């Protein structure tokens, strides 16, 4: 990334953002990937808990990497409001990370739930499939292709409801 006078090139987000720590307290780690960490975070003004995905800017070496991060955030804003898609609360950037604050889904991954249960009745499996296909339809109706659909990328809002699914991880998504 260039660090000249052109603001567009200084920031992944394209502009300066508020400091995330002025708005949220970052808490314990919820998950980890190769270039990102997801932490619990609490909004200071409301005490509401969210998840914060922090993408290491060290990963964003090529222009395409920066474009991918920008597109992920843009797509999340574009899809916001669907019941079964994680809602972005805000995106922030500091010297080391791009932070994406979104709904907290504390019920775990659909993948882990499937393993834990062993099997679903045909009726429950059909209902779950209906939700997943509904997410695909919603994305496609807004000209977005997720491109990484798998049980690990659906989280449950809470542990008690197998149908409280939300699609996550729009890092490979594109507009078409």
Q: List the catalytic residues.
A: 148
Judge whether 51 and 43 are in contact, CB under 8 Å: no
Largest pairwise CA distance in the chain: 60
Q: Half-sphere exposure (CA, 13 Å, Cβ side) for 67?
A: 5
Give the H/E segment covering residue 30. Answer: strand 24-32
* Helix/strand/coil percent split, the chain, to 5: 35, 30, 40
Q: For residue 48, give Cα distances in angstroms to 20, 42, 98, 100, 109.
A: 15, 6, 21, 15, 21
- Calpha distance 47→41 (Å, rounded): 9
């Amino acid at each position: 990334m260039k660090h000249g006078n052109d603001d567009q090139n200084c920031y992944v987000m394209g502009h300066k953002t508020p400091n995330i720590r002025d708005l949220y307290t970052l808490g314990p780690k919820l998950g980890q990937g190769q270039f990102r960490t997801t932490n619990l975070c609490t909004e200071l003004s409301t005490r509401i808990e969210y998840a914060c995905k922090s993408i290491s800017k060290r990963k964003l070496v090529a222009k395409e990497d920066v474009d991918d991060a920008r597109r992920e955030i843009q797509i999340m804003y574009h899809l916001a409001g669907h019941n079964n898609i994680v809602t972005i609360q805000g995106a922030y950037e500091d010297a080391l990370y791009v932070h994406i604050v979104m709904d907290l889904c504390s019920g775990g991954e659909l993948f882990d739930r499937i393993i834990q249960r062993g099997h679903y009745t045909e009726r429950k499996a059909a209902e779950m499939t209906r939700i997943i296909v509904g997410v695909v339809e919603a994305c496609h109706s807004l000209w977005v292709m997720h491109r990484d659909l798998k049980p690990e990328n659906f989280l449950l809002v809470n542990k008690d409801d197998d149908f409280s699914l939300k699609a996550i991880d729009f890092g490979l998504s594109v507009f078409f």
